[in-house]
């Protein structure tokens, strides 16, 4: 390794360590053709990929993430799907897998069209990452996984598969007070991510942009029934009731702390008409928003 190569290698290591330290677990080193450094780059990329998946899982599985963990499998492959490297966990789950095999050997036939479609989409976009759900067959058992495809170099990619598992000891210890734990384990990982994104959007209070549950379903690519059931499991409240309460609390804050008209407040809170807002507000707070605003104006400064 000459001086320039050593400098480049050192810079790459410093860069990935800096990004990981900042909490940017999506950063990947672009691999090269140097046999000395390429193996190190691949190992660091798989390490970052593992962190990325675990952090993402534990973030969106709130508030029950303390009782769950994940199994992750990482594959580095070329555009013709030839395996270049893989994580130790792969050897345990797929004992017959070897470098030089086709990645498609670990993907059931019924899922290969989906995989090809996402792989082609990754190649056609400027993004270096794409996420989707994928069923895999490990040790004769079928599992749904949270799949991430990463582009790391001209002809190198990483496929990461993660599946959520309820820790059996935690399950028995907390079964009485957390009755939904078993049910949560049955929610597909892709749906869990979508539901968490919906939850975050609701709490961002941008109510004027999305006004119905159907719009959430369409925007985040999740079946309405799965969204409703999964949201109830994760947050112990129906998505409709939670969204309604957040909008009404937001509206109430505007009534008390702004001079915005009630009709504008109704619209900003995601209601399509004032009468619907008035009806729900009165029922929830047991008071008339018009009178509240009038009383507010009468208060001496």
pLDDT at 167: 43
pLDDT at 252: 92
The DSSP code sequence of 200-260 is HHHHTT-TTT--SHHHHHHHHT--HHHHHHHHHHHHSS-HHHHHHHHHHHHHHHHHHH---
Which residues partner with 136 through β-bridges?
Answer: 143
Whether pTM exceeds 0.85: no
pLDDT at 178: 41
How confident is the model over 261-276, as pLDDT tens digits?
999 999 989 898 899 9
Count structural domains, the chain: 2
Which residues partner with 138 through β-bridges?
Answer: 141
Same domain membership, residue 80 and residue 32: yes
DSSP label at residue 102: B
pLDDT at 219: 79
Q: Final residue of a domain: which of 118, 136, 168?
A: 168
pLDDT at 281: 94
Task: Evaluate whether residue 180 is within a structural domain.
Answer: no
Is residue 164 pLDDT above 60, yes or no?
no
pLDDT at 106: 85
pLDDT at 20: 61
What does the alpha-carbon distance between residue 210 and residue 268 come to, in Å, rounded to a whole number? 10
Task: Evaluate whether residue 174 is within a structural domain.
Answer: no
Instruction: Name the residue with higher pLDDT: 35 or 53.
Output: 35
Task: Give residue 263's domain range.
Answer: 187-301
Same domain membership, residue 255 and residue 108: no
Q: Final residue of a domain: which of 139, 168, 197?
A: 168
Same domain membership, residue 257 and residue 112: no
Cα 8 to chain centroid distance, Å, stands at: 33
Task: Evaluate whether residue 177 is within a structural domain.
Answer: no
Please report, for the domain that includes residue 264, its CATH number: 1.10.10.60
pLDDT at 32: 65
pLDDT tier at 247, thresholds 50, 70, 90:
very high
Task: Evaluate whether residue 110 is within a structural domain.
Answer: yes
| Upper half-sphere CA count for residue 171 (Cβ side, 13 Å) | 12
pLDDT tier at 250, thresholds 50, 70, 90:
very high
Calculate the average pLDDT of the chain: 75
How confident is the model over 178-225, as pLDDT tens digits?
444 445 555 666 677 778 778 888 888 888 778 888 888 887 778 899
Task: Evaluate whether residue 182 is within a structural domain.
Answer: no
Same domain membership, residue 238 and residue 158: no
Q: Which two tokens stand for residue 29?
A: 């080193």
Nearest to 184 by CA among 139, 230, 153, 215: 230
Please report, for the domain that includes residue 92, its CATH number: 3.30.450.20
Same domain membership, residue 114 and residue 35: yes
Which residues partner with 135 through β-bridges?
Answer: 144
pLDDT at 265: 92
Same domain membership, residue 232 and residue 91: no
Q: Final residue of a domain: which of 105, 140, 168?
A: 168
Same domain membership, residue 22 and residue 113: yes
Same domain membership, residue 195 and residue 162: no
Same domain membership, residue 164 and residue 35: yes
Is residue 34 pLDDT above 50, yes or no?
yes
The DSSP code sequence of 271-289 is -SSHHHHHHHHHHHHSS-H
* Cα 262-266-268 angle, rounded to 5 deg: 115
Task: Evaluate whether residue 67 is within a structural domain.
Answer: yes
């Amino acid at each position: 390794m000459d001086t320039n190569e050593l400098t480049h290698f050192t810079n790459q290591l410093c860069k990935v360590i800096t990004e990981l330290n900042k909490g940017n677990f999506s950063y990947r080193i672009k691999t090269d053709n140097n046999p000395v450094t390429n193996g190190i780059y691949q190992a660091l990329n798989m390490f970052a990929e593992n962190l990325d998946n675990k952090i993402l899982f534990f973030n969106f599985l709130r508030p029950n993430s303390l009782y769950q963990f994940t199994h992750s499998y990482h594959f580095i492959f070329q555009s013709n799907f030839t395996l270049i490297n893989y994580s130790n966990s792969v050897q345990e789950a797929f004992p017959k897998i070897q470098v030089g095999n086709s990645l498609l050997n670990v993907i059931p036939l019924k899922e290969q069209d989906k995989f090809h479609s996402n792989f082609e989409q990754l190649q056609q976009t400027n993004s270096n990452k794409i996420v989707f759900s994928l069923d895999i067959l490990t040790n004769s058992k079928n599992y749904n996984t949270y799949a991430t495809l990463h582009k790391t170099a001209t002809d190198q990619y990483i496929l990461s598969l993660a599946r959520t598992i309820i820790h059996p000891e935690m399950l028995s210890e907390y079964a009485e007070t957390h009755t939904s734990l078993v049910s949560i384990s049955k929610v597909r990982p892709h749906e869990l991510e979508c539901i968490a994104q919906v939850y975050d959007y609701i709490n961002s209070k941008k109510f004027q942009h999305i006004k119905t549950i159907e719009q959430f379903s369409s925007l985040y690519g999740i079946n309405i029934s799965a969204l409703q059931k999964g949201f109830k499991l994760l947050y112990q409240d129906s998505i409709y009731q939670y969204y309604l309460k957040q909008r009404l609390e937001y509206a109430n804050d505007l009534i008390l702390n702004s001079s915005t008209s009630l009709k504008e407040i109704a619209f900003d809170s995601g209601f399509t008409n004032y009468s619907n807002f008035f009806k729900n507000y009165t029922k929830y707070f047991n008071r008339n928003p018009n009178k509240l605003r009038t009383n507010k104006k009468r208060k001496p400064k």
